[in-house]
Amino acid sequence: MIRYIEVKSRARTEFIDITGQLQEAVKNAGVRNGICHLFVLHTTAAITINEGADPAVQRDMVAFLNKLVPHDPYFTHAEGNSDAHIKSSIIGASQSVFIENTKLLLGTWQAVYFCEFDGPRHRRVALKISSDEG
Ligand code: ZN
């Protein structure tokens, strides 16, 4: 069974903390111990796990990615969003998080982020929540 998380971005490039939504989905799945696979169903978005305490980290990551891959007229892709496609592939479309005693197993400072690179848009993340108990 595939579950979905809905994400609504508000900026062209933005990191959105989806840890709470993900934990809610795990709770609804009723899985005690297992694994949660996440997969972004878009070519201009990505998923990452990083610092959730200081919002400056997300701002710095967004600023660095925009500096690394600028929105450049040099690109030939007619849609004009090649920078977003490149950032999506750099960060990656999937992550996996272990589930231990009904909770996502994350480090103290870790959060799961949906990475928007061509917003604002309505997005979806597919989840496969599997139980160790079968
Ligand atoms: Zn495109």
CATH of the domain at 21: 2.60.120.460
CA of 33 to the centre of ligand 1 (A): 39
CA of 81 to the centre of ligand 1 (A): 5
Amino acid 95: pLDDT:
98
What end-to-end distance do the CA atoms of the chain give, in Å?
13
CA of 29 to the centre of ligand 1 (A): 34
CA of 105 to the centre of ligand 1 (A): 34
Amino acid 73: pLDDT:
80
CA of 127 to the centre of ligand 1 (A): 24
pLDDT tens-place values along the chain, 134 residues long: 999 999 999 999 999 999 999 999 999 999 999 999 999 999 999 999 999 999 999 999 999 999 999 998 889 999 999 999 999 999 999 999 999 999 999 999 999 999 999 999 999 999 999 999 86
Of 33, 32, 3, 5, the closest CA to residue 18 belongs to 5
DSSP state of 117: S
> Could you tell me if 112 and 106 are in contact, meaning their C-beta atoms sit under 8 angstroms apart?
yes
Amino acid 133: pLDDT:
86
Amino acid 67: pLDDT:
96
Range(s) of the domain holding residue 60: 2-131
Amino acid 7: pLDDT:
98
> Could you tell me if 114 and 27 are in contact, meaning their C-beta atoms sit under 8 angstroms apart?
no
What Rg do the C-alpha atoms of the chain give, in angstroms?
16
Positive or negative, the Cα torsion across 121, 95, 23, 26? positive
Q: How many domains does the chain have?
A: 1
The model's pTM = 0.95
- Alpha helices per DSSP H over the chain: 19-29, 55-68, 82-91
CA distance 65 to 117: 10
Amino acid 72: pLDDT:
85
